[in-house]
Structure 1
Amino acid sequence: MSSDLMHPAALLIAVAADALLGEPGWLYRRLPHPVVAIGSVIAWADRRFNRASDTDARRRRGGIMVAAGLVASAFGLGWVLQAALLALPWGPLWLGLVMSTLIAQRSLYAHVADVASALELSGIEGGRIAVARIVGRDPDRLDEAGVSRAAVESLAENFSDGIVAPIFWGLLLGLPGMLAYKALNTADSMIGHKTPRHLAFGWASARADDWANLPASRLSALLLVLAALLQRGADAVSAWRAVRRDARRHKSPNAGWPEAAMAGALGLAVAGPRTYHGRLVPDPWMNDGGRWQLNAADIRAGLSLYWRACLILAILVVICVGVD
């Protein structure tokens, strides 16, 4: 299955390294994380090419050029790095370790588990502080159920775009594909907002990110359905039904798939009406009819389902290595 771009063995090393080591703090206190470095480039491009005096048409053209330039540059850099690393002794090992920086299995688990721990140890105030680190909605307006739903939603959505998507593109296109995807995904998170400043400029990044995440979001839903077969108390049939019924109702073309799958598997209702920056967003429920009064125990159940889905994904990568 390998080619000049695809290196499943290196990707398997990346998946294992991220699961075991996560993001080593000692390293990133000395070197910028790749996503932080990408973010610095995007912030510069936003200042340089998104002027308040520009017309919407000019902003949109600038945003298209920035998105295309980011993806092309990241892909080219990934190609050069991959070739250089594979030329070294134990090349797949070094390539795998670099790839692992673009996957977020362990860090996502830690951030979401922090919300559950904060609720358990410090109550609602602690939960609000912890969840504010991973979601964009107004934490002061959230009760315990709202904090818990936000954590479960973030876990499901980021399973797709933080783990499944980079691994998917890594299997297809190696490090170049992973780095290009991360550049696009970071651009969407920074400039893909429907605000007066970024509605036109971030349009290309947002639309391209939707397309880049489309296969991974469907795959992530399937992985969560399969994971429900392995978890006591989870319901794979309900997860599948929730995906079929509710996933396409979500405002995002991708987020509804893993959110509906996780909610259906655990008998929960997530998404729904919520407040961003003081504005009520009347979104539909994922797994409408499920229990919406969530608590820390539900976050823990979501984390258990998440790790089982990650394990199934790792097995799929092992199969790809075996085919190779």
Structure 2
Amino acid sequence: MPLSLSLPLALAASVVEALIGYPAPLYRAIGHPVTWMGRWLEWLEASLDRPAASFAMRRASGVVALCLYLAPVALVAWAATRALLPRGALGFAALAVLAASLPAQRSLSSHVKAVADGLDAGLDDGRRAVALIVGRNPAALDEAGVARAAIESLAENFSDGVVAPILWTALGGLVGGALYKAINTADSMIGHKDDRHRAFGWAAARLDDVVNLPASRLAALWLILAAALTPGASARAAARAVWRDASLHRSPNAGWPEAAIAGALGLKLAGPRVYGDRLVDDAFMGAGRREADAADIKRALRLYGPACVIQAMALAGVAATLLAFPVRY
């Protein structure tokens, strides 16, 4: 799909998803593309991962599983594009609706807002809400820990749940967006460093790092620009935190949006955290205060909204430029 079509497709998909999200009745009826991908990967893992095999064999099996996992995703997305694109405006609209299942602007905002609402009601409610979006033990979190976890989740998921699927849809149409979503889903399921997944999930984790590299940088840029438009936020401090801290994060990508949002809001995020019974010693993002509360989550959401709009405006600007000055292929 040429950029002259994939860019408008990404823009249309982001607008549709922001307006209606993924309807709950549809999810109850047929599930979600991510759940379909997850079931396929679960079957591949059960079939190909042999705990008794050597580390090298298990890693090779993970590479094979990843290829077998991604191939049908690409094929289905390609077939849908081939079937719908020649049907004019209605076909393009149908493609946009399909692509709208890939980003998660609306659901991310809803889940993070639920943490703020929960904290307003009490610490236990906040812990229950944050447990739905982070992997750390909520029982070990105080009010500030719950708030920081929600803001960190908002920042990281803005990158890999919003910016990245829209970016790869803009570059590769439905096929590009679907492949990205499949890679990200694989990383969330098997790309861990525990004994079970360290070998078999190695390829999924490394590939996810690569495909999220450009999106994490863009996410930081959108947050810095949004801070310039958001009362009470600092674009200069956001840019300074990204420059100083982003590369220190244990993840090659998560530090960029986390540092940006920490600097913009005057917070200090990340640092040592407990996941399950394991302490992860990470660098701090930002140089502000560690004490955070529900009001800070709401401030982060006020930054998140303009960042999503800025991304849509950037897509529209590039699409309009290509329309005015078409590229010859």
Measure the CA separation in 2 of the matches of 1:142 and 1:43: 31
Length-normalised TM-score, structure 1: 0.97
The answer as to whether partners of 1:6 and 1:170 remain within 8 angstroms in 2 is no
In structure 2, the partner of 1:290 is: 288
Secondary structure of residue in 1 paired with 2:195? coil
Matched, 1:314 2:312: yes
User: How is 1:1-324 mapped onto 2 (pairs within 5 angstroms)?
Assistant: 3=2, 6-89=5-88, 90-121=90-121, 123-287=122-286, 289-323=287-321, 324=323
Measure the CA separation in 1 of the matches of 2:192 and 2:10: 32
Measure the CA separation in 2 of the matches of 1:279 and 1:290: 26
The answer as to whether partners of 2:9 and 2:170 remain within 8 angstroms in 1 is no
The answer as to whether partners of 1:184 and 1:209 remain within 8 angstroms in 2 is yes
Length-normalised TM-score, structure 2: 0.95
Measure the CA separation in 2 of the matches of 1:226 and 1:279: 36
Q: What code does the residue aligned with 2:103 have?
A: I
Measure the CA separation in 1 of the matches of 2:3 and 2:210: 24
Classify 1:79/1:6 alpha carbon distance in 2 versus 1 (closer, same or farther; 3 Å).
Answer: farther
Counting aligned pairs with the same residue, the percent is 51
Classify 1:5/1:311 alpha carbon distance in 2 versus 1 (closer, same or farther; 3 Å).
Answer: closer
Measure the CA separation in 2 of the matches of 1:10 and 1:219: 19
The answer as to whether partners of 1:5 and 1:173 remain within 8 angstroms in 2 is no
How far 1:193 moved relative to its partner? 0.5
How far 1:78 moved relative to its partner? 1.1
The answer as to whether partners of 1:9 and 1:92 remain within 8 angstroms in 2 is no
CA offsets, 1:125-174, max 9 Å, x none?
Answer: 00000000000000000000000000000000000000100111011100
| Structure 2 unmatched runs, 5+ | 324-329
Q: What code does the residue aligned with 2:67 have?
A: A
The answer as to whether partners of 2:7 and 2:171 remain within 8 angstroms in 1 is no
Give the root-mean-square deviation of aligned CA atoms: 1.2
How far 1:46 moved relative to its partner? 1.1
Secondary structure of residue in 2 paired with 1:253? coil
Classify 1:57/1:5 alpha carbon distance in 2 versus 1 (closer, same or farther; 3 Å).
Answer: farther
| Structure 1 unmatched runs, 5+ | none
Measure the CA separation in 2 of the matches of 1:236 and 1:262: 9
How far 1:273 moved relative to its partner? 0.9
Q: What code does the residue aligned with 1:44 have?
A: W
Secondary structure of residue in 2 paired with 1:29? helix
The answer as to whether partners of 2:10 and 2:167 remain within 8 angstroms in 1 is no
